[in-house]
Structure 1
Amino acid sequence: MKKDKKVTLEIMDTTLRDGEQMQNVSYTPEEKLTISKILLTEVKVDRLEVTSARVSAGEKEAVRKMLDWAKEAQLVDRFEILSFVDKNQSIDWAKSVGVKRVNLLTKGSYKHCTEQLRKTPEQHAQDIQATINYAAENEIEVNVYLEDFSNGIKTSPDYVYYLIDFLLTLPVKRIMLPDTLGVFNPWETYEYVSAVVNRYPEVHFDFHPHNDYGLGTANAMAAAKAGVRGIHATVNGMGERAGNAPLDEVVVTIKDFLAVHFNINEKKLHKVSQYVEMFSGQRLANNKPIYGKNVFTQTAGIHADGDKKGNLYGNKLAPERFGRKRKYALGKLSGKANLEMSLKELAIELSDEEKKILLQKIIELGDKKEVVTTEDLPYLISDIFETPANVPFKLLHCSINSTYELKSIAAIQCAYQGQVLDAYAHGNGGYDAFMNALQELLKKFNIPVPQLVDYVVTIPPGGKTDALVQAAISWEVENNGQKITLTTRGVNSDQNMAAIEATVKMINLIISRT
């Protein structure tokens, strides 16, 4: 890596093993299979670490499902599991599910060896040898983790080098250097990893960063610069404590700042992030780099103006690179350029005077801490300029009845193009019943039915049971032959009514685009 020639680094994704150690996270076998398929066939990571040996019967079922698919797809060699220095137990478990490669967890610091295992380095080495030899007899490849390497190389380097020297006498494919407690900084990572790599230039070393100080990505980049051949990461930075280095940040950062190539399809990073967020139930901050919902949204008017006049505020992190789009926020910091960009997206034309009045209203709402989205503009324009044609679809009446242990019932009445129609439906909850009834009417009115992809309900911090509720619903809709995601919001003291307001907004938005 110290030379200027371009190299290819492996990515081992450990979302389904180390990432599942995050508190309150557990995946079903079907979810694990879905994530593994996306990571291998779409994102195209090089390797997957999918579980730890001997965990549970449920985990065994999940791994078998993944390996059954992998055999058909001829991808068995991409799957790895964490195993332990237990001679035959982990290896037998790996054989029983069809895994061909294990990542053996050994002690990478003298302190862990002598105080946790209560063994001498020589005794630990003998146990490692017995386990690796048994794996070789059973035709299973072995990579080796040096657990607590970051502390070990700083406090007991002689022990670390003794262990590596010993491992090199055995059939080991890779040696993996974990910053188990996330205690490295980038300068230390480069210094210590360089020392190891330079001492053993022919060995394939991986680096496994944790994010306790928020330095996981920076340390991964330092390790790549020091010459490792592989980096470990998890989707969305999932993992124990503060998590692991996030896959998207690791790939994009190292690629952009170092002469490094990955086999990763960047356009699929967003998709796998969404699936992991959905399956794990762990929502990420909107300002998370690469994947966060806000990271390609310009808020300040001067930035939107610069983009309009020549992409003056652009960088390598173009949203199109990741299959996303630039957005322009509307609020008290907005300028004329923000508004014009949003109107252009909606194909709405206004006079200069109308734009001035509309922008002033947006700024006033921003001062009141109200959110205005691009999707809200048609309704805001309608309110200001009294153009009821912008809201052709109207919900006239809605009644929802929810009963304990029985399905909810919704009765609605809607008007469109001079027609007034009623519909009744059941559902698993009030909003589901409403949507079932609404879909019946939309088909009769020949209006496309939007696909709900996300639903977030919030109340103000400290809010009581009578607090206003905001429902923000994301929808997938067709736009000029392409599928795009739009978000509408509703505010009401009743959660169902807030969601219904957001839904009616989306219906009118769809009509305005057709």
Structure 2
Amino acid sequence: MENRRVTKNAHTNLLQLEEHLYTLVDVEKPNVFRNLFPYDEIPKIAFNDRIVPHNFPENIWITDTTFRDGQQSRTPYSTEQIVTLYDYLHKLGGPKGIIRASEFFLYSKKDRDAVYKCLERGYEFPEVTAWIRASKKDFELVKELGLKETGILVSCSDFHIFYKMKMTRRQAMEHYLSVVRECLETGVAARCHLEDITRSDIHGFVIPFCLELMKLSKEYNLPVKIRCCDTMGYGVNYPGAVIPRSVQGIIYGITNHAGVPSEWMEWHGHNDFYKAVSNSTTAWLYGACGVNCSLFGIGERTGNTPLEAMVFEYAQLKGTLDGMDTTVITELAEYYEKEIGYRVPSRTPFVGRNFNVTRAGIHADGLLKNEEIYNIFDTEKFLNRPAVVAVSNTSGLAGIAHWINTHFKLKDQNAVDKSHPVVALVKEWVDAEYESGRITVITDDELLDIIRQACEETATTMFGEN
């Protein structure tokens, strides 16, 4: 304590003691934090009430792992699908490139073809980056393709170091540093994926390791980025929670004690405990510029942080979309369903078929009177998805007409009103359903069938058909 210098903090203008220098703690036995992670019990969330300050960067962004982690949990995308999705990501990210980068596998010809075609687009953002095995041959492949950055797996918990890799912490660190050095020697920036960080020894391994990575960065004058991977979704964002589960504790420790710039910090979350979105937002708030996501959260096990969710988190935190085109989110959902054959669960926020559908009768009545009462924002403006009222015994003629107009996207002179003969026939059928004892709302498929029958009876062209 006596040998540590007193310096002025350029951010707060307050005097502070020079940070403690963290050195590797090379333990003989793995520390797997059994007190927090008893395998035969539910994991514990413990607190020590050590609060770290907010450190929201001036610029924050999203990075994409749809073609890497997203492909590890589903049928691989075709080259054409990857290129189309990349185009969508570019359009969604807007002129400021809020979707900053996207990572690609390079193992197969299909993957490499996709990389070539995406590079041919000439977009500045999302930058095409790689994810490869830690080998000299793969580093050369990255360089051949003209990529400036690649991800490297550097597992950091004792679970992985001792049980998977069969190494000590020192051996693992030395191995990782040699691999990163090989990468930097090829002139490619390294992005270190600190796997399983929320079960790792932050002060005894992660911070000392990051300090060494910053030395390599300085030596080669190339960025060495840090991706904090909450591989098992153990991270929590509660103030005063203990590390390694504390998201803000991890971000604070790496930025302040290891000297990693916010611009090189990134959070990669999984949703095992339903915290992927809140943890990613917390990483932003406490000093990470980047959050790593996949479209619709598709990823290993419970999935990654949904990219579309962080678009709206960004807007809520910054007070602006900064040019992002959120209508692309709906286009993406439609593309997944029609071209890829993947149906997003119906209640998924922003993209599910029923995310802005009001079903309860009393709610429907309120929505019909004023849309804002039961709609989160102008979903038609931002997502091309107008608020919908589900049909029940309380919907009435107006509710049925509203359903038809929104479902078939009928506007102005094409819209139907409650006097339309088809609306009347549908109303008769709905009333009969509830008079016979039904208590549930009418499903979309049922409505489409009865509307089709009503159109035939009244010699009306089926809505939406020429």
Give the alignment's TM-score, normalised by structure 2: 0.72
The 8 Å contact of residues 211 and 244 in structure 1, kept in 2 or not, is answered as yes
**In 1: Cα distance, 2:76 partner to 2:360 partner:** 40
| Counterpart mapping for 1:24-43 below 5 A | 24-43=74-93
**In 2: Cα distance, 1:201 partner to 1:95 partner:** 25
The 8 Å contact of residues 77 and 100 in structure 1, kept in 2 or not, is answered as no
> Residue 311 of structure 2 aligns to which amino acid in structure 1?
V
- Pick the aligned partner of 2:215 from 169, 180, 186: 169
Residue number in structure 2 paired with 1:202: 261
* Alignment partner of 1:60 is 2:103: no
**In 1: Cα distance, 2:269 partner to 2:324 partner:** 19
User: Could you tell me how far 1:241 is from its partner in structure 2?
Assistant: 1.0
Residue number in structure 1 paired with 2:271: 211
Q: 1:343 to 1:71 in 2, by over 3 A?
A: closer
Give per-residue Cα distances to partners, 1:45-71, cap 9 Å, x unaligned.
Answer: 2100122x5x3xxx2343234324414
**In 1: Cα distance, 2:280 partner to 2:56 partner:** 19
SS at match of 2:331: helix
SS at match of 2:228: strand
**In 2: Cα distance, 1:210 partner to 1:281 partner:** 24
User: Could you tell me how far 1:327 is from its partner in structure 2?
Assistant: 2.0
The 8 Å contact of residues 64 and 103 in structure 2, kept in 1 or not, is answered as yes
Residue number in structure 2 paired with 1:490: none
User: Could you tell me how far 1:167 is from its partner in structure 2?
Assistant: 0.7
Residue number in structure 2 paired with 1:85: 134
* Alignment partner of 1:160 is 2:206: yes
Residue number in structure 2 paired with 1:186: 237
- Pick the aligned partner of 1:361 from 429, 436, 439: 429
The 8 Å contact of residues 64 and 98 in structure 1, kept in 2 or not, is answered as no
**In 2: Cα distance, 1:279 partner to 1:350 partner:** 36
**In 1: Cα distance, 2:166 partner to 2:288 partner:** 31
Q: 1:235 to 1:140 in 2, by over 3 A?
A: same
The 8 Å contact of residues 86 and 118 in structure 2, kept in 1 or not, is answered as no
**In 1: Cα distance, 2:254 partner to 2:297 partner:** 26
Q: 1:353 to 1:256 in 2, by over 3 A?
A: same
The 8 Å contact of residues 8 and 260 in structure 1, kept in 2 or not, is answered as no
**In 2: Cα distance, 1:35 partner to 1:352 partner:** 41
> Residue 149 of structure 2 aligns to which amino acid in structure 1?
R
> Residue 80 of structure 2 aligns to which amino acid in structure 1?
E
**In 1: Cα distance, 2:361 partner to 2:82 partner:** 43
**In 2: Cα distance, 1:253 partner to 1:207 partner:** 14
**In 1: Cα distance, 2:265 partner to 2:377 partner:** 29
> Residue 331 of structure 2 aligns to which amino acid in structure 1?
K
| Counterpart mapping for 1:437-452 below 5 A | none
SS at match of 1:102: strand
> Residue 85 of structure 1 aligns to which amino acid in structure 2?
A
Residue number in structure 2 paired with 1:21: 72
User: Could you tell me how far 1:319 is from its partner in structure 2?
Assistant: 3.5
The 8 Å contact of residues 2 and 225 in structure 1, kept in 2 or not, is answered as no
Residue number in structure 1 paired with 2:189: 141
Give per-residue Cα distances to partners, 1:230-278, cap 9 Å, x unaligned.
Answer: 0011011111111111111122134325668666321111222333445
Determine which structure has more spread, i.e. the larger CA radius of gyration.
1
**In 1: Cα distance, 2:86 partner to 2:420 partner:** 52
> Residue 365 of structure 1 aligns to which amino acid in structure 2?
E
- Pick the aligned partner of 1:116 from 146, 164, 178: 164
SS at match of 1:8: coil
The 8 Å contact of residues 346 and 354 in structure 2, kept in 1 or not, is answered as yes
Residue number in structure 1 paired with 2:287: 227
Residue number in structure 1 paired with 2:174: 126
**In 2: Cα distance, 1:194 partner to 1:125 partner:** 21
Residue number in structure 2 paired with 1:425: none
**In 2: Cα distance, 1:77 partner to 1:353 partner:** 51
**In 1: Cα distance, 2:271 partner to 2:432 partner:** 41
Q: 1:60 to 1:302 in 2, by over 3 A?
A: same
- Pick the structure with more strand per residue: 1
Q: 1:319 to 1:253 in 2, by over 3 A?
A: farther
**In 2: Cα distance, 1:371 partner to 1:130 partner:** 59
Q: 1:225 to 1:259 in 2, by over 3 A?
A: farther
**In 2: Cα distance, 1:125 partner to 1:5 partner:** 30
Aligned residues: CA RMSD: 3.3
**In 1: Cα distance, 2:142 partner to 2:176 partner:** 17
**In 2: Cα distance, 1:371 partner to 1:256 partner:** 33
* Alignment partner of 1:7 is 2:7: no
- Pick the aligned partner of 1:334 from 395, 398, 407: 395
User: Could you tell me how far 1:196 is from its partner in structure 2?
Assistant: 3.0
> Residue 116 of structure 1 aligns to which amino acid in structure 2?
K
SS at match of 1:73: coil
Higher relative contact order (CA 8 A, sep 6+): 2
User: Could you tell me how far 1:347 is from its partner in structure 2?
Assistant: 2.8
**In 2: Cα distance, 1:329 partner to 1:246 partner:** 27
Instruction: Give % identity.
Output: 20
The 8 Å contact of residues 148 and 180 in structure 1, kept in 2 or not, is answered as yes
Give the alignment's TM-score, normalised by structure 1: 0.66
SS at match of 1:84: coil
| Counterpart mapping for 1:217-296 below 5 A | 217-256=277-316, 264-278=324-338, 280-296=340-356
Residue number in structure 2 paired with 1:321: 382
The 8 Å contact of residues 102 and 126 in structure 2, kept in 1 or not, is answered as no
The 8 Å contact of residues 131 and 152 in structure 2, kept in 1 or not, is answered as yes
User: Could you tell me how far 1:149 is from its partner in structure 2?
Assistant: 0.8
The 8 Å contact of residues 6 and 260 in structure 1, kept in 2 or not, is answered as no
**In 2: Cα distance, 1:319 partner to 1:133 partner:** 50
**In 2: Cα distance, 1:156 partner to 1:6 partner:** 22
**In 2: Cα distance, 1:242 partner to 1:230 partner:** 21
Q: 1:85 to 1:326 in 2, by over 3 A?
A: same
Q: 1:222 to 1:380 in 2, by over 3 A?
A: same
User: Could you tell me how far 1:110 is from its partner in structure 2?
Assistant: 3.4
> Residue 14 of structure 1 aligns to which amino acid in structure 2?
T
The 8 Å contact of residues 81 and 94 in structure 1, kept in 2 or not, is answered as yes
The 8 Å contact of residues 268 and 293 in structure 2, kept in 1 or not, is answered as yes
SS at match of 1:67: helix
Q: 1:62 to 1:201 in 2, by over 3 A?
A: closer
User: Could you tell me how far 1:306 is from its partner in structure 2?
Assistant: 2.1
Q: 1:275 to 1:510 in 2, by over 3 A?
A: closer
Give per-residue Cα distances to partners, 1:373-412, cap 9 Å, x unaligned.
Answer: 66567546568xxx63325xxxxxxxxxxxxxxxxxxxxx
Q: Which runs of 5+ in 2 are unaligned?
A: 1-51, 218-222, 239-245
**In 1: Cα distance, 2:122 partner to 2:419 partner:** 58
The 8 Å contact of residues 368 and 399 in structure 2, kept in 1 or not, is answered as no
- Pick the aligned partner of 2:104 from 50, 62, 79: 50
Q: Which runs of 5+ in 1 are unaligned?
A: 392-507
> Residue 342 of structure 1 aligns to which amino acid in structure 2?
W
User: Aligned residues, how many?
Assistant: 384
Residue number in structure 1 paired with 2:12: none
**In 1: Cα distance, 2:203 partner to 2:233 partner:** 18
* Alignment partner of 1:390 is 2:460: yes
